[in-house]
Structures are given as structure tokens and as C-alpha cells.
Amino acid sequence: MDLQVGNNNIIIRFLAIIVGLHFLAADENRDPSFEFNYTSSEIHVGADSVGSFSGIIHNVSSGTIAIAVVRRVNNLPNNWTSSVCLGMICYNETIDSVSVQIGQGDSSACGVLAWVSGAGEGTVQLDIFDLNSNEHLFLDVNFYAGMVDINNDFIKPNQFLLFPAYPNPFNPVTTIRFNIPIETQHATTLQIFDVNGRSIESLVNRVLQAGQHEIEWSAARIPSGVYFAELVSGNYRQVQKLVLMK
């Protein structure tokens, strides 16, 4: 009887190993829960300016996912700083790790801002991963300052993109940056709305040349609260939340 029990224990352990290996194999072959889409990770800016990288995290799973973004490498010149952006918030330069929950079929903006002082180059590495799996995406974002003409066709964006405003939350001034890939015959508009959908201010309403554009919005005369910046150009529309804290 003792021998039979011993054999059963061996069999049970063997089956447990097989089951464990099966789940490990299934985990490695599991479909990814998210995609990260972006235009380019090579960012060219003028000296003494702000470089901006931005992409979109898409939830392609069948449920809600928890995504973490970690700044693994911050290899910048001594007089440069960088900030991780997730959703509509760009965090303090001392914060290396942030996270967000993204519902099924939803998406979230993700990026990096680099404050540049003088000419030079540097790299910020992002690790984007699902907190409930081993699915990691490592991305090196390279910033080059004062090395090319920022009006050169080489660095014109190839898609419409509204970057996260910085700072956000803000008081009372924030900077809104966006990309226009081609010059169009219709006007591009950038408007500010309150939570009730009422127009607060029109920042842009004109035909724009292709390239990167930067608008500074001063909210000194309006109360604290949540506002929305809406960028519209042809069939393209993007909205981001702004938080004014006085």
C-alpha cells in the first residue's frame, strides 16, 4: 500500500509539471493585449526648445487592461530634463513609473517631453507593459537638438496628432502642440470648451502650413476646473482634457 501511495504521489507531481508547462506555453503564445502606434521615435528640435514624442496605446484584448509605462533609461545631457506623459497628464520629471487602466476597445496617449538646453542628443527608453502579463515593449526615443533645420521636410510629421498639453494640470498657462502633415485648403481650428460643451476660447482658426505647431493658452481670467481642447482639421478631430488648478 505504501508503494502505491508513493507511486500516486509521483504521478500527481508529474501531472502537475505537465499542467504547469502547458500554462506556460499558453501564456507565451497568448495574443498581445495592446498595440502601441506612433509616427517616429527620432525627434529633431531646435536648440533651447521642447522636444515631444507621442503615440497611442490601443487595448486589443477582450477586457480592461492595466498598462504601466516606465522610464528605464534617461540618458540626456546634464542640462536637459524629460517627463513621461500618459493619458492627458505629463508627470513631474522625477517620476519614472506611471500606470493607467484602458477599457476594451479604448486607447490612451503615451509619450515623452524633453526640455532641451543647447545643442546635443539624448535617449529616453520607455518600457510599456501589461501589469497582468509578461508582455513588454521597449522603445528608445532619440532626441536631436540643433542638428538639423526644424523646417526641413525630413522632420515633417506624416499624421495629424495632438500632443499632451504641458503642463497639465496647469496654472494659468499651458502649451498645446500638434502636428499637421499636409497643407490643406480648409481652416484648422483649435478651441477650448468647458465641461458643459460651451466654447470658452478659439485659439486657432486658419489654414496652416504642414509641420509642428505650438500654441500657448493663458487661462488667467477663467475659474479653476476641467476644460477640453478640440483640434479639428478636415475629417480629423481629437480632444484632450485640460485641468486648471489655481
Q: How many domains does the chain have?
A: 3
pLDDT for 147 equals 56
The residue range of the domain holding 61 is 34-153
Separation between Cα atoms, residue 113 and residue 174, nearest integer Å = 14
Domain with residue 113: its CATH number is 2.60.40.10
**Is residue 102 domain-shared with residue 212, that is, in the same domain?**
no
**Is residue 230 domain-shared with residue 192, that is, in the same domain?**
yes
**Is residue 122 domain-shared with residue 227, that is, in the same domain?**
no
**Is residue 43 domain-shared with residue 125, that is, in the same domain?**
yes
pLDDT for 158 equals 54
Chosen domain end from 136, 153, 170: 153
pLDDT tens, residue order, the chain (246 aa):
333 334 444 444 444 433 444 434 444 455 789 999 888 888 887 777 778 888 899 999 999 999 999 999 999 998 899 999 998 788 888 999 999 999 998 999 999 988 888 888 999 999 999 999 878 999 999 998 875 444 444 444 456 778 778 888 899 999 998 888 777 788 999 999 998 888 999 999 999 988 888 999 999 999 999 999 999 888 787 888 889 998
Q: How distant, in Å, are the alpha carbons of 38, 72, 110, 128 from that of 136? A: 16, 12, 15, 6
Chosen domain end from 107, 135, 153: 153
Q: Please, what sign has the CA dihedral across residues 188, 37, 99, 66? A: positive
**Is residue 61 domain-shared with residue 129, that is, in the same domain?**
yes
